[in-house]
Amino acid sequence: MRIAFLTAPEGVEEVELTRPWKAVEEAGWNPQLVSTSSGQVQAFQHLDKGGRFTVDHVLAGDTSEAFDALVLPGGVANPDALRMDERAVGFARSFFTQGKPVAAICHAPWTLVEADVVRGRTLTSWPSLATDIRNAGGTWVDEEVHVCRAAPATLITSRKPDDLDAFCATLVREFDRQPARQG
C-alpha cells in the first residue's frame, strides 16, 4: 500500500510524522511525504526546530487516486497552513469522497474541518479543537484514539503525542482492513 503523509513546508510535529511513518514501514507499506512545496519540510519538536524531511510528491491539484490512505500529522502551524491551501484541502477531501481511510492526530483535524468532512462524524483531537469540530458538525470526544467508520471513509483520530502507541497500532489495523489500490 502507498500511504500519503500530508504536511506543510514548515511546522509539522516531528514525532507525529516519524512514529506513524515507522509504523507504516514496519507494516510493509510505502509512505510518501506529500507537501505543498518541493524540497524539504521543517519539522518541530513542539516549539523548537527539529529534523528536515525530503518531500516525495508536491501537490498540484492531485486527488487520492495514487494513494491507498492518508496520514495527517499535527503540530499547530502545520494544519493551520494546510487548511489555507486549496490544494491540500482538496487532496484531503478526496480521500473521503473516494472512500479511503484517513488518520489524523493532534491539531491535524483543522484541515478536515476546512475540507468539510467532519459533519456527522465522531472524532478526537487536541482539546482546543473541540469547538471547531462541533461547529463543523462533528462530535468531539476525549479519547486516546477514536475510529469513526461513517461512510464513505474510515477516520482514525488521536489527541496528542502521548497517544502515539495507540494511534499507530490503530491506523495500521484500520488501513490493513482496506483493499489496496490496483496498479
List, by residue number, the catalytic residues.
106-107
For residue 153, what is the DSSP state? -
Residue type at 137 in one-letter notation: G
Nearest to 1, CA basis, from 27, 40, 19, 22: 27
Beta bridge partners, 100, equal: none
**C-alpha dihedral sign at 171, 172, 176, 180:** positive
Q: Is 122 exposed, middle or buried (0-12, 13-18, 19+ CB in 10 A)?
A: middle
